[in-house]
A and B are shown apart, each in its own frame.
Chain A
Amino acid sequence: MSKKKSAVMPLLYLAQKQNNNWIPLAAIKLIADTLNTTYIKVYEIATFYSMYNLAPVGKYFVQVCTTTPCMIRGSGKIVDTCKKIISKKQGELNQDLNSSWIEVECLGACVNAPMVQINNDYFEDLTDKKAEEIFKGFKEGRLPRFGSQSGRKGSEPTSNRTTLLKNA
């Protein structure tokens, strides 16, 4: 048995990287032919994982976390901002800002909720105003420094430190 098929995920990732962050059908077919498997087998994998984009996305691709911790901390407002500034529906491309957005499940930055991921970077501790500012900056190709947008360092407490004070 050939083990060629195990390369399917890295190849999909490569295809996505080379094609403006999305995978066209032609790439799926080429990957299937390269790996001696059928189209549906590659298509299955490409549709299963949400990090493979099967339709064009913007140069600034915003993924808004809407899982419970973010939701409690106000991710609904971030989604509203996306709808207002980027596009009415998720997955739609805004030509003007060269960006698009989608809702995703937990990205593992709950301590700094609510947050979005733009391309490879996390932007945390957002408010709707902060988000609006960031999205509007897409036009000039301007992005703030990644990480917390409220000024705190990493995931430190929002007020002063309360623990481990002695050895500080």
Chain B
Amino acid sequence: MIKVTVDNTEVEVEPGSTVLQACEAAGKEIPRFCYHERLSIAGNCRMCLVEIEKSAKPVASCAMPVVNGQIIKTNTEMVKKAREGVMEFLLINHPLDCPICDQGGECDLQDQAFNYGGGRSRYGLNKRSVKQKYMGPLIKTHMNRCIHCTRCVRFSEEIAGIAEIGTINRGENMEITTFLEKTVESEMSGNVIDLCPVGALTSKPYSYEARPWELNKVETIDVMDAVGSNIRMDSKGWEVKRVLPRINDEINEEWISDKTRYACDGLLNNRIDTPYVKKNGKHHAASWKEAIQFINQNSKNKKEYGGLIGQLVDLETSYAFKELFDKIYNSQLVDFRQKDILFDTTDDFNFKFNTSINKIDDCDFILLIGANPRLEATIVNYRIRKAVNRGCKVFSIGDPGNQNYNYKIIGKNVSILDDLITEKISEFKLLSNAKNPAIIIGESALKSSISKNVISSVKILLKKINKLNGFNILHQSASNVGSLILGLQSSNLKKVYNSDLLFLLNSDEVLIDKKENQFVIYQGTHGGENALLADVILPSASHSEKNGSFVNLEGRVQRTYKASFPPGQAKEDWEIFLSIAKLNNVDLGYSNFDQLRKKMIAEYPLLGDYDKMPKSNCSDLKINDHIRKDFELDINEIDYYQTNIIARSSKTMHDCKNIKKKIKRVEF
């Protein structure tokens, strides 16, 4: 440890820290623009100047390593003057357009000019003007405002993994742009908006929508993928205006994917706001009473009752849905799978991401099996990329396309796993020498025909090198793991689809092939294709309009909170279940949300253990024998911007899809 003195207080910091970090450890606030904890050090904004004893000039603290016994001063006249000077220079070419700037109210430059600036301007000449740059449908640019901190440039190279934003020209003519103003390609590009300390890069869909102080801010969890990124939803009235990341070092650090950030306008479009009943082949708006009675009339004397849960359904709703089927229809035919897929539910271990997202960073060997992490779980892919930069080797079975890092395809057939077990191919040596290996199985490798085989082969392989905790399943949808824990994988998926009464709970990913005598109920948020063919449509609240909890792919239970309220007559799902039960004179054992949650936790105590990575015990795991199977792995193509009904209802996501389709991918 290194001892330094900051403003007469002595602090100890790790060797290799910077003066800025030492000042922060001493509780001193140092203004900065270019410095960012998760990016490399640039040292070009000069805002973090401090005085160091025996140094003639003020020192840029972000780029200065600490030395034992250094005496740092942050509140002297010299520092104050230096900050004022730097601020004056930064403001020379910065336009005074705060009143029409979207960053106003949450602008680093505004705040720091107020706190550290000289308070007046002495510059009377013309300011520099720079043309607006086109960066695609997500990022709006006002390049007059840019102060050239190069955070966005460093982000695109270091975090996103595609160096596509850069600085051109030099000196006074320096500009930030993409190559010939091409659309940025990265799935994490939206983060540059948060990184930009001024209003140069702002959100296009959110432009001129609201001021930060007008917004109602709710800290919640993202459901666009199974990662469970921590987010903050900002809403004005019932409209969710924007989504911002929240720092959680164990999951998303402080980044979120573009789908998480921008699909929120899908919550406003195409919503079902009133119940509908289909009569003579046409949907008619109905009251809740009529709709529920209609269900009651048509649900008598059916042979089979099936329920299908969608990919955005929270734990409480899934649990209540299961209870509803159990108590009213006396049926266990509830499932959540909307494609040909089979999980191993004998132990929780078998369907979780056991390495944990946080520890991917330390992996030195990663094998992807039928997974395309870049599109299936962008944040996980960022972690893999981080591991690659630390020297991790990545191999893949199946061709997932460009992942923004180098990897080697060792084959496309799952029989390769057998070759690995029998040590026929050289990659086994790398695997057995690895300290922290991880094998990531994607949903494409879990098709019902090969699922069992793949899972047991991977377990045998990992058992052989005694690293069983490197077993990972990469889920794609937010409700998967929760549904699996609730035991909602039925034995016969076909039977669910073909049941006489099919209750669709927000499930839009599979188009139901409706039989003539089949009675279909659709309860959900958006008017998709399944809602169209349903006999009854019940409007319900989306994940942003109710409290709930989700389990992410690691098995971490996290709570979502109500950021807005449901539109029109839409109700929370459990309320609808209650009214169905009431008409059937059945007591579901709860009458409000808290009771429902308590009931669920009483039955599944693990689901009440919030925000913790569950410990998985894999020592007494049962491992089946495997049989060599020849199966050509074909990784399902993913339409990244259209993976769920909210994204499909979002205009922004449609724009992204249409524009990015046109870009010829830059290969590395």
- Contact (Cβ within 8 A) B167 A44: yes
B170 on the A face (CB < 8 A): yes
Supposing A37-B163, A38-B666, A39-B666 touch, asked if A48 and B170 sit within 8 A by C-beta, the answer is yes
Interface pair B179/A38, CB less than 8 Å apart = yes
Measured as residues with beta carbon below 8 angstroms from the partner, the interface class of chain A is 10 to 19
B166 located at the interface, meaning its Cβ lies under 8 Å from any Cβ of chain A in the complex: yes
A40 & B170 in contact (Cβ 8 Å cutoff): no
A-B pairs with CB below 8 Å: how many?
33
Q: How far is the CB of B174 from chain A (nearest CB, A)?
A: 9
Is the C-beta of A41 less than 8 angstroms from some C-beta in chain B? yes
Q: What residue in chain A is nearest B666 (Cβ atoms)?
A: A38
- The contact string, 1 if C-beta is below 8 Å from chain A, for chain B 149-174, is 00000000000001111111110000
When C-beta atoms are compared, the residue in chain A nearest to B168 turns out to be A47
Q: In the bound complex, how far is the Cα of B180 from the Cα of A41, in angstroms?
A: 12
Give chain B residues whose Cβ lies under 8 Å from the Cβ of A36.
668
With a CB–CB cut-off of 8 A, which chain A residues contact B162? 38
| A34 nearest CB across to chain B (Å) | 13
A44 to B179, CA, bound (A): 9
Give the chain B neighbours of A138 by CB distance below 8 A.
Answer: none
CB within 8 Å for A44 and B166 given contacts A38-B179, A39-B179: yes
Which of B169, B178, B668 contacts A40, CB < 8 Å? Answer: B178
Of all chain B residues, the one with the shortest Cβ separation from A28 is B179
Structural contact, A47 and B163, CB atoms closer than 8 A: no
> In whole Å, how far is B40's beta carbon from the nearest beta carbon of chain A?
14
| A43 beta carbon closer than 8 Å to chain B | yes
Taking the closest CB of chain B, its distance from the CB of A109, in whole angstroms, is 22
Within 8 A of B (CB), among A21-71: 25, 36-41, 43-44, 47-48
Query: Closest CB-CB distance, B154 to chain A, in whole Å?
Result: 13
CB pair B170 A41 closer than 8 Å = no
Q: How far is the CA of A43 from the CA of B175 in the complex (A)?
A: 12
Report the separation of the CA atoms of residues A25 and B180 in the bound assembly, to the nearest whole angstrom: 10
Task: Specify which chain B residues have a CB less than 8 angstroms from the CB of A41 in the assembled complex.
Answer: 163, 166
Complex CA gap A43/B168 in Å reads: 7
Contact flag A47-B179 (CB < 8 Å), given A37-B163, A38-B164, A41-B163: no
Judge whether A44 and B666 touch: CB under 8 Å.
no
Cα A39 to Cα B663 in complex, Å, equals 14
Contact of B164 among A25, A40, A47 (CB under 8 A): A40
Task: Report A-chain residues with C-beta under 8 Å of the C-beta of B170.
Answer: 47-48
For A38, the chain B residues whose CB sits under 8 A away are: 162-164, 179, 666
When C-beta atoms are compared, the residue in chain B nearest to A25 turns out to be B180
Contact of B163 among A25, A40, A48 (CB under 8 A): A40
Closest CB in chain B relative to A87 CB, distance in Å: 21
| A47–B177 CA distance with the chains assembled, in angstroms | 12
* CB of A112, distance to nearest CB on chain B (Å): 26
Interface residues on B, range: 10 to 19
Q: How far is the CA of A41 from the CA of B178 in the complex (A)?
A: 10
Q: When the two chains form their complex, are residues A43 and B668 in contact, meaning their CB atoms are under 8 A apart?
A: no
The answer for the CA separation of A40 and B161 in the assembled complex, in Å, is 14
Which residues of chain B are near A43, meaning CB under 8 Å? 166, 168, 179-180
A68 → B minimal CB distance (Å): 16
User: A48 touches which one: B169, B178, B666, B668 (CB < 8 A)?
Assistant: B169
Contacts of A25 in B (CB 8 A): 180
A137 vs chain B, min Cβ distance (A): 33
CB-defined contacts of A39 to chain B, threshold 8 Å: 179-180, 666
Q: How far is the CB of A77 from chain B (nearest CB, A)?
A: 26
Inside 8 A of A47's CB, which chain B residues have their CB?
168-170
Query: How far is A47 from B167 in the complex, measured between Cα atoms in Å?
Result: 9
Check B164 against A44 for contact (C-beta < 8 Å).
Answer: no
- Which residues does chain A contribute within 8 Å of B167, judged by CB atoms? 44
Chain B nearest CB from A9 CB (Å) reads: 15
Instruction: Give Cα A40–Cα B162 distance, bound, in whole angstroms.
Output: 10
Within the assembled complex, what's the spacing in Å between the Cα atoms of A47 and B165?
14
Complex: how many Å from CA A37 to CA B168?
16
A48 vs B178: C-alpha distance when bound (angstroms):
15
Q: Which residue of B lies closest to A43 (CB)?
A: B179
Among B162, B178, B179, the one with the most A-chain Cβ atoms within 10 Å of its Cβ is B179
Residues of A within 8 A of B178 (CB): 40
Q: Chain B CB within 10 Å — which of A25, A38, A44, A47 has the most?
A: A38
A44: chain B residues at CB < 8 Å are: 166-168
In the assembled complex, the Cα of A41 lies from the Cα of B668 at a distance in Å of 13
Select from chain B the residue with minimum beta-carbon distance to A38.
B163
Closest partner residue, chain A, to B170 (CB atom): A48
How distant is the Cα of A47 from the Cα of B178 in the complex, in angstroms? 13
CB-nearest residue of chain B to A49? B170
Report B-chain residues with C-beta under 8 Å of the C-beta of A37. 163
User: CA–CA, A48 to B169, complex, Å?
Assistant: 5
What separation, in Å, do the CA atoms of A44 and B666 have in the docked complex? 17
Complex: how many Å from CA A37 to CA B668?
7
Q: In the complex, A37 Cα to B667 Cα: how many Å?
A: 9
Q: Quote the shortest CB–CB distance from A114 to chain B (angstroms).
A: 23
Q: Which residues of A contact B168 (CB under 8 A)?
A: 43-44, 47-48
Bound-complex Cα distance A33 to B168 (A): 19
A36 to B668, CA, bound (A): 6
Give the Cβ gap from B333 to chain A, nearest Cβ, in Å. Answer: 52
Give the CA-CA distance A37 to B666 in the complex, in Å: 10
CA A23 to CA B166, docked complex, whole Å: 19
- Contacting residues, chain B, for A40 (C-beta < 8 A): 163-166, 177-179
User: With A and B bound together, what is the CA distance between A37 and B162 in angstroms?
Assistant: 9
For B165, the chain A residues whose CB sits under 8 A away are 40
Among A37, A39, A40, A47, the one with the most B-chain Cβ atoms within 10 Å of its Cβ is A40
User: CA of A41 to CA of B165 in the docked complex: distance in angstroms?
Assistant: 9
| A-side contacts of B666, CB under 8 Å | 38-39
Nearest chain B CB to A98 CB, angstrom units: 27
Q: Within the assembled complex, what's the spacing in Å between the Cα atoms of A40 and B177?
A: 9
Provide the bound-state CA to CA distance between A13 and B162, in Å.
26
Q: How far is the CB of B348 from chain A (nearest CB, A)?
A: 40
* Complex alpha-carbon distance, A41 and B177, angstroms: 11
In the bound complex, CA of A135 to CA of B541 (Å): 78
- Give bound CA distance, A103 to B469, whole Å: 65
Shortest 10 CB-CB distances between A and B: which pairs? A40-B166, A40-B179, A39-B179, A47-B168, A44-B166, A38-B163, A48-B170, A47-B169, A41-B163, A43-B179
17 A-B pairs with CB atoms under 8 Å apart are A38-B163, A38-B164, A38-B666, A39-B666, A40-B163, A40-B165, A40-B166, A40-B178, A40-B179, A41-B163, A41-B166, A43-B166, A43-B168, A43-B179, A44-B166, A47-B170, A48-B168
Given pairs A38-B666, A40-B178, A43-B179, 10 additional interface contacts (CB within 8 A): A37-B163, A38-B164, A39-B180, A39-B666, A41-B166, A43-B168, A44-B168, A47-B168, A47-B169, A48-B170
